Amino acid sequence: MNHAFSFQVKATDGAARTGDINTPRGRIRTPAFMPVGTAGTVKAIFADQVHALGSDVVLANTYHLMLRPGAARIAELGGLHKFMQWPHPILTDSGGFQVMSLAKLRKLDESGVTFQSHIDGSTHVLTPERSMEIQRLLGADIQMQFDECVKLPCSLAEAERAMRLSLRWAERSKIAFGEQQGRALFGIVQGGIDETLRIESARALTQMEFHGYAIGGLAVGEPQDVMLSTIETVVPRLPENKPRYLMGVGTPDDIVEAVSRGIDMFDCVMPTRAGRHGLAYTRFGRINLRNARHVDDPAPLDSESTCLAARDYSRAYLHHLVKSGEILGMMLLTWNNLAYYQQLMTGLREAIAARRLSNFREDVKVGWANER
């Protein structure tokens, strides 16, 4: 078994690349989409199904797992991989985004963040050191530095303050991470939508020598062209021999466009959340199973799909399950959506290797022109 963390680019097509992230727990093929298992579970689907669909890695979250059941308890039970029956790589978010978006009565200073739990109002403190301790207790293969993620839009002064604080926290995160054999720590580029701030953040983090680099603070409501221009600003300032991760993105179109600009890794709750709310993702675009047009439709979501949820169940039956609030409807649509996302990633990897990404990109755009 290889006990080192490494990344190799295998093929390129323009700025896009396909490659392998190697970890002691297995290979992550890039471009990679990481299903979100926030609280130690990808909602409405079994872990072995997630892997069978082609997922090499899942994401779990420091904030949620520290609140319940607690990182120390998970460690005592053998670590997160054993706890959730997922023996493959896990990436953990640092908790910074959830502190911004979910926590109550947040108080931020140089040391970290004091906040009240959104679950029971109990008081907790997250610092770079504490975030790294929790991620180490969980046993995450890829860990994220603790950062401050500001809401957009925000003033230039606020973006600069948060970016510089995140850089100081990055240094502390790296020290706290220390040496963990086979595990990796990623830095997070911040700076709002300001080009100068993003460049400064990327350069400073690169000098710190992280195992990989993420672009944070996007996918929070800004237009797609703003997100893409930020990617175009940051990617050339990041090392070519390290993975690049766009946090919290996104739609199939967002993913294809970001891959075309050199991004290697993605995560988003969209396919699983959509599945729980009656929305199917397919190569034909989004299909809203709540729509009455499907009530008598015997056709499956996609008769040519290798996913049984897409191929073997009628739209009429799926419509019935969704309208009835049946759990099976949520399970089947989650299964379908994650299958589609992994098929998209396989298509991207194959297109890059064959140097036909532009054609694949256009095919995806045509398929996603309308919601049905």
Instruction: Look at 81-95, 145-159, 262-276 and tell me which has the smallest mean pLDDT.
Output: 145-159
Annotated active-site residue 267? The verdict is yes
- The active-site residue out of 141, 264, 267, 302 is 267
252 shares its domain with 309: no
The residues, any chain, with a CB within 8 Å of residue 119's CB and separated by 6 or more, are 67, 68
150 shares its domain with 292: no
113 shares its domain with 170: yes
> What per-residue confidence (pLDDT) applies to 337?
98
263 shares its domain with 286: no
* Rounded (10°) angle between helices 327-353 and 252-260: 20
Question: In the listed set 219, 238, 267, which residue is the last one of a domain according to the structure?
Answer: 267
Cα separations (Å) of 207 from 94, 99, 142, 167, 171?
Answer: 21, 27, 19, 11, 11
CATH of the domain at 203: 3.20.20.105
169 shares its domain with 314: no
164 shares its domain with 18: yes
Dist. CA 16–CA 4, nearest whole Å: 25
pLDDT digits (tens, 9 = 90+) for 317-371: 999 999 999 999 999 999 999 999 999 999 999 999 999 999 999 999 888 766 6
pLDDT digits (tens, 9 = 90+) for 228-265: 999 999 999 999 999 999 999 989 999 999 999 999 99
Q: Is residue 372 one of the residues assigned to a domain?
A: no
Dist. CA 119–CA 179, nearest whole Å: 34
> What per-residue confidence (pLDDT) applies to 371?
63
282 shares its domain with 224: no
Higher pLDDT, 178 or 153: 178
Q: Is residue 53 one of the residues assigned to a domain?
A: yes
Dist. CA 103–CA 212, nearest whole Å: 28
Residues in the chain: 372
> What per-residue confidence (pLDDT) applies to 2?
57
> What per-residue confidence (pLDDT) applies to 368?
78
Dist. CA 169–CA 111, nearest whole Å: 9
pLDDT digits (tens, 9 = 90+) for 77-113: 999 999 999 999 999 999 988 887 877 768 999 999 9
195 shares its domain with 317: no
Average pLDDT over residues 267-296: 97
pLDDT digits (tens, 9 = 90+) for 37-76: 999 999 999 999 999 999 999 999 999 999 999 999 999 9
116 shares its domain with 260: yes
pTM (global) more than 0.85? yes
Asked if residues 130 and 70 have their Cβ atoms less than 8 Å apart, the reply is no
Asked if residues 187 and 210 have their Cβ atoms less than 8 Å apart, the reply is yes
The residues, any chain, with a CB within 8 Å of residue 137's CB and separated by 6 or more, are 71, 72, 74, 75
pLDDT digits (tens, 9 = 90+) for 204-216: 999 999 999 999 9
Dist. CA 114–CA 123, nearest whole Å: 7
DSSP β-ladder status, 32-35 and 16-23:
unpaired
Q: Is residue 115 one of the residues assigned to a domain?
A: yes
Asked if residues 215 and 248 have their Cβ atoms less than 8 Å apart, the reply is no
> What per-residue confidence (pLDDT) applies to 367?
80
Q: Is residue 296 one of the residues assigned to a domain?
A: yes
339 shares its domain with 258: no
Q: Is residue 1 one of the residues assigned to a domain?
A: no
- The active-site residue out of 93, 141, 147, 302 is 93
175 shares its domain with 302: no
Q: Is the pLDDT of residue 4 over 60?
A: yes
> What per-residue confidence (pLDDT) applies to 372?
65
Q: Which helix (H) or strand (E) covers residue 184, if one does?
A: strand 184-189
Number of structural domains the chain divides into: 2
- Structural tokens at position 127: 């610092």
258 shares its domain with 311: no
Question: In the listed set 233, 267, 301, which residue is the last one of a domain according to the structure?
Answer: 267
Residue from 182, 95, 186, 96 nearest 139 by CA:
182
Question: In the listed set 240, 267, 294, which residue is the last one of a domain according to the structure?
Answer: 267
Q: Return the percentage of the chain with pLDDT > 90, whole number.
A: 90
Question: Which domain range does residue 200 map to?
Answer: 6-267
